[in-house]
Protein backbone atom coordinates (compact mmCIF):
# COMPACT_ATOMS: atom_id res chain seq x y z
CA UNK A 1 0.00 0.00 0.00
CA UNK A 2 1.32 3.40 -0.95
CA UNK A 3 0.75 6.71 0.88
CA UNK A 4 2.75 8.95 -1.48
CA UNK A 5 4.94 9.82 1.50
CA UNK A 6 7.93 10.71 -0.68
CA UNK A 7 6.15 12.35 -3.59
CA UNK A 8 8.57 14.78 -5.28
CA UNK A 9 11.52 13.77 -3.11
CA UNK A 10 14.89 12.84 -4.57
CA UNK A 11 17.79 11.00 -3.04
CA UNK A 12 20.88 8.80 -3.17
CA UNK A 13 20.76 5.16 -2.06
CA UNK A 14 24.08 3.53 -1.15
CA UNK A 15 24.45 -0.24 -0.75
CA UNK A 16 22.00 -2.14 -2.99
CA UNK A 17 23.98 -5.28 -3.83
CA UNK A 18 21.20 -7.78 -4.57
CA UNK A 19 17.52 -8.41 -3.85
CA UNK A 20 18.26 -9.28 -0.22
CA UNK A 21 19.94 -5.94 0.51
CA UNK A 22 18.17 -3.53 2.85
CA UNK A 23 19.07 -0.78 0.35
CA UNK A 24 17.39 -2.71 -2.47
CA UNK A 25 14.15 -3.01 -0.47
CA UNK A 26 14.40 0.67 0.43
CA UNK A 27 14.72 1.60 -3.26
CA UNK A 28 11.59 -0.43 -4.04
CA UNK A 29 9.60 1.14 -1.20
CA UNK A 30 10.86 4.65 -2.01
CA UNK A 31 9.75 4.27 -5.62
CA UNK A 32 6.34 3.05 -4.46
CA UNK A 33 6.04 6.17 -2.28
CA UNK A 34 6.78 8.48 -5.20
CA UNK A 35 10.52 9.16 -4.76
CA UNK A 36 13.20 9.35 -7.42
CA UNK A 37 16.72 8.19 -6.60
CA UNK A 38 20.21 7.58 -7.90
CA UNK A 39 21.79 4.26 -6.94
CA UNK A 40 25.45 3.77 -6.07
CA UNK A 41 27.85 1.02 -5.07
CA UNK A 42 31.51 0.14 -5.59
CA UNK A 43 32.52 -0.98 -9.09
CA UNK A 44 33.39 -4.45 -7.68
CA UNK A 45 29.98 -4.80 -5.98
CA UNK A 46 28.28 -3.66 -9.17
CA UNK A 47 29.96 -6.54 -11.03
CA UNK A 48 29.34 -9.06 -8.25
CA UNK A 49 25.73 -8.02 -7.59
CA UNK A 50 22.65 -7.12 -9.64
CA UNK A 51 22.23 -3.36 -9.09
CA UNK A 52 21.82 -2.67 -12.84
CA UNK A 53 18.58 -4.67 -12.87
CA UNK A 54 17.25 -2.50 -10.04
CA UNK A 55 18.20 0.68 -11.89
CA UNK A 56 16.51 -0.56 -15.03
CA UNK A 57 13.33 -1.45 -13.14
CA UNK A 58 13.02 2.09 -11.80
CA UNK A 59 14.43 3.87 -14.84
CA UNK A 60 17.29 5.44 -12.95
CA UNK A 61 21.09 5.57 -13.09
CA UNK A 62 23.89 3.92 -11.13
CA UNK A 63 26.92 6.07 -10.36
CA UNK A 64 29.84 3.97 -9.10
CA UNK A 65 31.54 5.21 -5.94
CA UNK A 66 33.73 3.75 -3.25
CA UNK A 67 32.28 5.43 -0.16
CA UNK A 68 35.74 5.69 1.39
CA UNK A 69 37.00 7.78 -1.52
CA UNK A 70 36.25 11.50 -1.30
CA UNK A 71 36.77 12.16 -5.03
CA UNK A 72 34.30 9.40 -5.87
CA UNK A 73 31.79 10.89 -3.44
CA UNK A 74 32.15 14.42 -4.84
CA UNK A 75 31.71 13.06 -8.36
CA UNK A 76 28.63 11.09 -7.25
CA UNK A 77 27.05 14.10 -5.57
CA UNK A 78 27.70 16.53 -8.42
CA UNK A 79 26.46 14.05 -11.05
CA UNK A 80 23.36 13.35 -8.95
CA UNK A 81 22.56 17.07 -8.67
CA UNK A 82 23.11 17.38 -12.41
CA UNK A 83 20.77 14.43 -13.01
CA UNK A 84 18.00 15.93 -10.88
CA UNK A 85 18.73 19.55 -11.81
CA UNK A 86 19.04 20.51 -8.13
CA UNK A 87 19.52 19.36 -4.55
CA UNK A 88 18.40 16.09 -2.98
CA UNK A 89 16.15 15.33 -0.01
CA UNK A 90 17.41 12.03 1.37
CA UNK A 91 20.48 9.80 1.59
CA UNK A 92 20.64 6.16 2.70
CA UNK A 93 23.98 4.84 3.98
CA UNK A 94 23.51 1.07 3.87
CA UNK A 95 27.18 0.10 3.84
CA UNK A 96 29.11 -2.34 5.97
CA UNK A 97 32.09 -4.64 5.60
CA UNK A 98 34.84 -5.99 7.84
CA UNK A 99 37.87 -7.62 6.22
CA UNK A 100 38.74 -9.05 9.67
CA UNK A 101 35.34 -10.80 9.81
CA UNK A 102 35.86 -12.04 6.25
CA UNK A 103 39.25 -13.48 7.16
CA UNK A 104 37.89 -14.87 10.44
CA UNK A 105 40.51 -12.99 12.49
CA UNK A 106 39.39 -13.11 16.14
CA UNK A 107 38.82 -9.77 17.91
CA UNK A 108 41.80 -10.53 20.18
CA UNK A 109 44.02 -11.35 17.20
CA UNK A 110 43.01 -8.56 14.91
CA UNK A 111 44.92 -7.26 11.89
CA UNK A 112 45.24 -3.50 12.41
CA UNK A 113 45.43 -2.57 8.74
CA UNK A 114 42.17 -4.42 8.22
CA UNK A 115 40.73 -2.81 11.37
CA UNK A 116 41.34 0.61 9.78
CA UNK A 117 39.56 -0.61 6.65
CA UNK A 118 36.56 -1.82 8.67
CA UNK A 119 36.24 1.57 10.34
CA UNK A 120 36.76 3.45 7.08
CA UNK A 121 34.20 1.44 5.09
CA UNK A 122 31.56 0.95 7.77
CA UNK A 123 31.73 4.19 9.77
CA UNK A 124 34.05 6.93 8.47
CA UNK A 125 32.40 6.64 5.04
CA UNK A 126 29.28 8.04 6.74
CA UNK A 127 31.24 11.11 7.85
CA UNK A 128 32.76 11.45 4.37
CA UNK A 129 29.32 11.36 2.72
CA UNK A 130 27.91 13.89 5.19
CA UNK A 131 30.89 16.22 4.88
CA UNK A 132 30.83 16.07 1.07
CA UNK A 133 27.06 16.78 1.03
CA UNK A 134 27.52 19.60 3.55
CA UNK A 135 30.36 21.28 1.66
CA UNK A 136 28.58 20.95 -1.68
CA UNK A 137 25.30 22.09 -0.09
CA UNK A 138 23.63 19.09 -1.71
CA UNK A 139 20.72 18.46 0.69
CA UNK A 140 17.54 20.56 0.85
CA UNK A 141 16.34 22.04 4.16
CA UNK A 142 14.53 19.37 6.23
CA UNK A 143 16.25 16.65 4.26
CA UNK A 144 16.95 13.34 5.96
CA UNK A 145 19.98 11.03 6.16
CA UNK A 146 19.76 7.49 7.55
CA UNK A 147 22.47 4.90 8.24
CA UNK A 148 22.06 1.32 9.43
CA UNK A 149 23.43 0.11 12.74
CA UNK A 150 23.25 -2.97 14.95
CA UNK A 151 22.79 -3.42 18.71
CA UNK A 152 26.37 -4.76 18.98
CA UNK A 153 27.35 -1.06 18.96
CA UNK A 154 26.14 -0.94 22.57
CA UNK A 155 26.17 -4.51 23.91
CA UNK A 156 28.61 -7.32 23.22
CA UNK A 157 27.62 -9.94 20.68
CA UNK A 158 30.25 -12.63 20.14
CA UNK A 159 31.65 -12.85 16.60
CA UNK A 160 30.48 -9.36 15.58
CA UNK A 161 34.15 -8.50 15.99
CA UNK A 162 35.43 -5.07 14.89
CA UNK A 163 32.08 -4.27 13.27
CA UNK A 164 30.85 -3.50 16.81
CA UNK A 165 33.43 -0.70 17.06
CA UNK A 166 32.48 0.56 13.61
CA UNK A 167 28.78 0.68 14.54
CA UNK A 168 29.53 2.59 17.77
CA UNK A 169 31.43 5.13 15.71
CA UNK A 170 28.66 5.30 13.11
CA UNK A 171 26.07 6.11 15.80
CA UNK A 172 28.35 8.76 17.26
CA UNK A 173 28.85 10.40 13.85
CA UNK A 174 25.06 10.64 13.48
CA UNK A 175 24.92 12.60 16.74
CA UNK A 176 27.94 14.83 16.12
CA UNK A 177 27.10 15.70 12.49
CA UNK A 178 23.40 15.75 13.31
CA UNK A 179 23.96 18.71 15.62
CA UNK A 180 25.84 20.74 13.01
CA UNK A 181 23.70 19.85 10.00
CA UNK A 182 20.49 20.27 12.03
CA UNK A 183 21.38 23.65 13.43
CA UNK A 184 22.71 25.11 10.19
CA UNK A 185 20.54 23.49 7.49
CA UNK A 186 17.71 21.68 9.29
CA UNK A 187 18.98 18.41 7.88
CA UNK A 188 18.26 15.46 10.15
CA UNK A 189 20.57 12.48 10.67
CA UNK A 190 19.62 9.20 12.34
CA UNK A 191 20.75 5.59 12.58
CA UNK A 192 18.41 2.60 12.64
CA UNK A 193 19.49 -0.35 14.76
CA UNK A 194 18.06 -3.23 12.77
CA UNK A 195 17.31 -6.89 13.69
CA UNK A 196 19.69 -9.49 12.28
CA UNK A 197 18.60 -9.85 8.67
CA UNK A 198 19.56 -12.50 6.11
CA UNK A 199 21.61 -10.52 3.59
CA UNK A 200 25.10 -10.91 2.14
CA UNK A 201 26.66 -8.67 4.83
CA UNK A 202 24.66 -10.31 7.65
CA UNK A 203 25.53 -13.84 6.62
CA UNK A 204 29.27 -13.05 6.90
CA UNK A 205 29.04 -13.22 10.71
CA UNK A 206 29.97 -16.65 12.17
CA UNK A 207 26.88 -18.32 13.69
CA UNK A 208 24.59 -15.78 12.03
CA UNK A 209 21.63 -18.16 11.67
CA UNK A 210 21.74 -18.90 15.41
CA UNK A 211 21.78 -15.16 16.07
CA UNK A 212 18.67 -14.74 13.91
CA UNK A 213 16.89 -17.57 15.79
CA UNK A 214 17.92 -16.18 19.18
CA UNK A 215 16.68 -12.67 18.31
CA UNK A 216 13.44 -14.13 16.97
CA UNK A 217 12.84 -15.99 20.27
CA UNK A 218 13.58 -12.90 22.34
CA UNK A 219 11.58 -10.33 20.36
CA UNK A 220 7.88 -10.04 21.26
CA UNK A 221 7.09 -8.86 17.72
CA UNK A 222 9.63 -11.16 16.04
CA UNK A 223 12.59 -10.01 13.97
CA UNK A 224 12.14 -7.07 11.61
CA UNK A 225 12.72 -8.09 7.98
CA UNK A 226 14.53 -6.06 5.32
CA UNK A 227 11.10 -5.03 3.97
CA UNK A 228 10.00 -3.87 7.44
CA UNK A 229 13.25 -1.91 7.67
CA UNK A 230 12.59 -0.25 4.32
CA UNK A 231 9.17 0.86 5.61
CA UNK A 232 10.76 2.43 8.67
CA UNK A 233 13.40 4.18 6.57
CA UNK A 234 10.64 5.66 4.38
CA UNK A 235 9.01 7.24 7.45
CA UNK A 236 12.34 8.83 8.34
CA UNK A 237 12.74 10.22 4.82
CA UNK A 238 9.19 11.58 4.92
CA UNK A 239 7.97 14.92 6.29
CA UNK A 240 6.18 13.10 9.13
CA UNK A 241 9.41 12.83 11.15
CA UNK A 242 10.80 16.34 10.70
CA UNK A 243 11.82 16.78 14.34
CA UNK A 244 13.58 13.42 14.71
CA UNK A 245 17.35 13.78 14.56
CA UNK A 246 20.59 12.56 16.20
CA UNK A 247 18.84 9.37 17.30
CA UNK A 248 19.73 5.71 17.19
CA UNK A 249 16.32 4.14 16.61
CA UNK A 250 15.82 0.47 17.44
CA UNK A 251 13.91 -1.45 14.81
CA UNK A 252 14.06 -4.93 16.25
CA UNK A 253 10.62 -6.18 17.33
CA UNK A 254 11.38 -5.18 20.95
CA UNK A 255 14.61 -7.22 21.27
CA UNK A 256 16.68 -4.36 22.71
CA UNK A 257 14.47 -4.01 25.79
CA UNK A 258 14.14 -7.72 26.57
CA UNK A 259 16.02 -9.66 29.23
CA UNK A 260 14.50 -13.13 28.90
CA UNK A 261 11.41 -14.46 27.11
CA UNK A 262 9.37 -17.62 27.74
CA UNK A 263 10.52 -19.00 24.36
CA UNK A 264 14.14 -18.25 25.30
CA UNK A 265 13.73 -19.88 28.71
CA UNK A 266 12.16 -22.97 27.15
CA UNK A 267 14.99 -23.31 24.62
CA UNK A 268 17.62 -23.02 27.37
CA UNK A 269 15.89 -25.59 29.63
CA UNK A 270 15.58 -27.97 26.66
CA UNK A 271 19.27 -27.53 25.84
CA UNK A 272 20.29 -28.05 29.48
CA UNK A 273 18.14 -31.19 29.94
CA UNK A 274 19.58 -32.66 26.72
CA UNK A 275 23.09 -32.05 28.11
CA UNK A 276 22.36 -34.02 31.32
Residues that bind ligand NAD (CB under 6 A): 14-15, 17, 20-23, 41-42, 45, 66-68, 94-97, 121, 148-150, 194, 196-197, 199-202
Q: Which is nearer to ligand NAD, 99 or 140 (CB)?
A: 99
Q: What CA–CA distance (Å, rounded) separates 48 from 88?
A: 28
Strands (E) across 42-167 are located at: 88-93, 139-149
In angstroms, the CA 270 to CA 274 distance is 6
Minimum gap (Å) between residue 146 Cβ and ligand NAD: 10
- Go through the chain and tell me how many residues it has: 276
- Between residues 194 and 219, which has the closer beta carbon with respect to ligand NAD? 194
Residue with smaller CB distance to ligand NAD, 70 or 239: 70
Q: Whose Cβ is closer to ligand NAD: residue 164's or residue 272's?
A: 164
CA distance 256 to 192: 12
Cα 37 from Cα 11, distance rounded (Å): 5
For the bound state, the minimum distance from the C-beta of residue 90 to ligand NAD, rounded and expressed in Å, comes to 16
Residues 47, 18: contact at Cβ < 8 Å? Answer: no
CB closer to ligand NAD, 36 vs 66: 66
User: In angstroms, what is the minimal distance from the CB of 122 to ligand NAD?
Assistant: 6
- Give the number of other Cβ atoms within 10 Å of residue 7's Cβ: 11
CA 100 – CA 115 distance, rounded (Å) = 7
Amino acid sequence: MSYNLLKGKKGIIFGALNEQSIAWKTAEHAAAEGAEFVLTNTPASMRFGTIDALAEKYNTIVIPADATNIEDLENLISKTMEHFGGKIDFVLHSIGMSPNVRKENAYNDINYNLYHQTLDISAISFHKILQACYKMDAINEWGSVVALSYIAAERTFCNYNDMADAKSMLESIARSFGYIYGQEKHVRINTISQSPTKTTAGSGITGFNNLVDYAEMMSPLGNASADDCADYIITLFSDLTRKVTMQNLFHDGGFSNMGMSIKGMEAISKGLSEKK
